[in-house]
Amino acid sequence: MGKDKVDLRVFKTKKSIKSAFITLVPKKGYQRITVQDIADEAMINRNTFYLHYEDKHDLMDKLCRDSMENLNVCLSLNTLDIYTINKEMLTSILDNIFQNIESDLDFFKVMLDLNSQPIYLTEVLKNYILNAFGDQYQEKDMKVGLEYIVSGLVGIICLWIRESNNLKHKTIVEQLSNIHFSNIQEVFFKGRIVKPSATVPL
């Protein structure tokens, strides 16, 4: 059997497992789901499940990690000169984040289910966004400001995931851009370390 066929089979199996997980959490709650439940819903046997995941916790971790990895492109702030970021850039970054989450919205809704792990997802989202700032987050003059901005952003993202039927992401992006642009400028320009120019000895 060719490698492409094997890869396609693995892809389809993992997709079925993810779909089963998304279906079962709202029905039974994360804590009550068993591997057998997931296997039955995905129409696979337990051995097939264990070829890809150790248990349901490993499944959740890997699904969450995969979804977060898809945000890497729109969170690659290190490729930008953050000190010259303008409102249009910020709006574009925020819009990309929301579009990316919207493409996998059913999964994110499940992760915020009361019987699931909302705190876990919130922390993962926050860490991914903060990591995108790289070493800039470690600068003590910026850390508190960035933590404040990103925590607020993640809170709004989670609110939108829960109420996406009533809240259009374009409207939220526009509001966030208006609210946070001045805050981001303040954090980065206030925290920026300007090296003094060298003096010429007399």
DSSP 158-189: HHHHHTTTTS-HHHHHHHHHHHHHHHHHHHHH
Same domain, 48 and 97: no
Verify that 87 and 23 share a domain, yes or no.
no
Whether residue 200 has pLDDT greater than 50: no
Same domain membership, residue 92 and residue 15: no
Minimum mean pLDDT among 92-96, 153-157, 169-173, 197-201: which range? 197-201
| Residue 95 contacts residue 170 (beta carbons within 8 Å) | yes
Q: Ramachandran region of residue 168, left (φ > 0), alpha (ψ -120 to 50) or beta?
A: beta
Tens digits of per-residue pLDDT, 17-33? 999 999 999 899 888 99
Domain of 108 in residue numbering reads as 70-191
76 and 152 housed in the same domain: yes
Axis-axis angle for helices 56-69, 3-28 (nearest 10)? 110
Distances (CA, A) of 73 to 20, 108, 127, 152, 154: 28, 18, 15, 21, 17
Whether 178 and 78 share a structural domain: yes
Return the pLDDT at 202.
32
pLDDT per position as a tens digit, 133-190: 666 556 666 677 777 777 888 888 888 988 888 888 888 998 888 877 766 666 666 5
Question: Does residue 198 lie within any of the structural domains?
Answer: no
For the entire predicted model, the pTM comes to: 0.72
Same domain? For 161 and 108 the reply is: yes
